[in-house]
Structure 1
Amino acid sequence: MPRAPAKPPAAARSRRPTERNRKPSPLPRHIEVRQRRLPVTLSAALKQARKRAGMTQAEAAEGIGIAPEVYERMERGGVLPSGPTLLRMCLILGSGPHELMGFAEVEPGQSAPGANTVPPGLSDTPEKRRLLRRLARLDSPRIKALARLVALLLPGR
C-alpha cells in the first residue's frame, strides 16, 4: 500500500506571508513606512497631549469612553483607535488629529487649533478638572440644583 506524502512542517503551512513570499504593496514606500510607525507616533502624541491636558490615563479613558486598559495599550503603541474613538480623543485631550497622527507638531505649552479651551482658573488643579468633566455629564436640572447648592456654600450670600 502506498504511503501518503508527509505533511510539510507547520511553519511552511502557515498562511502568514513571510518576507520572501510577501506580495509587493501597491502603496508608495513612504506611506508604508508612515503606516508602520503610526502606533509609535500615536502613542507618543497621546502621552504628550494627556499630560498637557493635566489628566491621568484613567481620567482620559473615562472622558473618551473606553476602558483604562485599552487607553494604556494605545499609549504603549499596542493598539490603534477606531475613527470615532480618535475623534473623541481629539476632543477630550484638546489635540487635533494632525498632531496625534504625526502630521503636525504642537508645542508643549500650546493647544491644537480649535481645541476646547477652559477659562483661566477653572482648570488650574486636577480636582477642578475632574469636577468640570463630571459636570459636563450632568443634565440641565441637576446642573441648576448644583448651582443653587454652590451659591449657598459661597461666603457673602
Structure 2
Amino acid sequence: MKGKPGKNEDGTRGRVRTELAIQIGKVARDARLKLKLTQEDIAERVGLTPEVYGRLERGDMLPSTPTLTKICVVLGLSADAVVGLAEPEATQAQPASDEELPPEIRRLLRMVRTMDDEQLAIFKGTAAGLLKLNKRRQQQHKRDKAQVAII
C-alpha cells in the first residue's frame, strides 16, 4: 500500500499513514540531520521534488522501490536499517561531496546547475561584478581607517 487515500481511524478521508512509512521517514530524517543536509539536498540527489521528499520524511507516503534504493545510497544506509530490520547506527553514512557547505551555498549550487548557458553567463558576470564591488569597498575602508589614524 502506498498510503493511498482512504478512511482514517477517525472516519475522516485522507492519506493513511502506515507504520512502515513512518519508520522509513523517521530513519531518513535522522540520517539526513546527522549528515547536516536539508530536505532539498536529499530530494535533488534522489531525483524528487522537495515537497515529495518532505512527505516521505513525515511518513505520509511510501517510496517506490527504486526511490527507496536511491534514498539508501544517498543517506549511506542499508535498506534493512531504513525499514527497521537493523539498527541505523550499524551502517556508515557516506559524506556527499558538498556536504560541508552551508545550506545557502548548496541552494545556490542547485540553482546554478539548472541554468542554461545564457543564464550562466549572466550569473557569472553578476558574481564578478559583486566581487569587484566588494574589493572596492574593502579598499575604501582601508583608506578611511588610514585617514582616521593620521588625524
The structure-2 alpha-carbon separation of the partners of 1:56 and 1:40, relative to structure 1 and needing over 3 Å to count, comes to: same
Distance 2:56 2:96 in 1: 26
Aligned length in residues: 95
Q: Which residue of 2 aligns with 1:92?
A: 74
Q: TM-score, normalised by structure 2?
A: 0.52
Contact 1:41–1:102, Cα closer than 8 Å, also in 2: yes
What amino acid does structure 2 have at the position aligned with 1:63? R
The structure-2 alpha-carbon separation of the partners of 1:38 and 1:118, relative to structure 1 and needing over 3 Å to count, comes to: closer
Contact 1:53–1:94, Cα closer than 8 Å, also in 2: no
Q: Which residue of 1 aligns with 2:131?
A: none
The structure-2 alpha-carbon separation of the partners of 1:45 and 1:125, relative to structure 1 and needing over 3 Å to count, comes to: same
Instruction: Supply the RMSD in Å over aligned alpha carbons.
Output: 3.3
Q: Which sections of structure 2, spanning at least 5 residues, go unmatched? A: 1-5, 7-17, 114-151
How many percent of aligned residue pairs carry the same amino acid? 37
Question: Does 2:24 match 1:48?
Answer: no
Q: TM-score, normalised by structure 1?
A: 0.50
Structure 1 residue ranges (4+ consecutive) displaced by more than 2 angstroms after TM superposition: 115-119, 122-127
Q: Which sections of structure 1, spanning at least 5 residues, go unmatched? A: 1-15, 17-35, 138-157
1:78-99 per-residue CA deviation (whole Å, 9 max, x = no partner) reads 1100010011101111111111
Question: Does 2:55 match 1:73?
Answer: yes
Question: Does 2:91 match 1:112?
Answer: yes
User: Shift of residue 61 of structure 1?
Assistant: 0.4
What amino acid does structure 2 have at the position aligned with 1:106? P
Query: Secondary structure of the residue that 2:88 maps to in structure 1?
Result: coil
User: Shift of residue 126 of structure 1?
Assistant: 3.2
User: Shift of residue 63 of structure 1?
Assistant: 0.7
Of structures 1 and 2, the larger Rg is shown by: 1
Structural mapping, 1:22-61, within 5 Å: 36-61=18-43
**91, 99, 102: which one aligns with 1:126:** 102
Contact 1:38–1:101, Cα closer than 8 Å, also in 2: yes
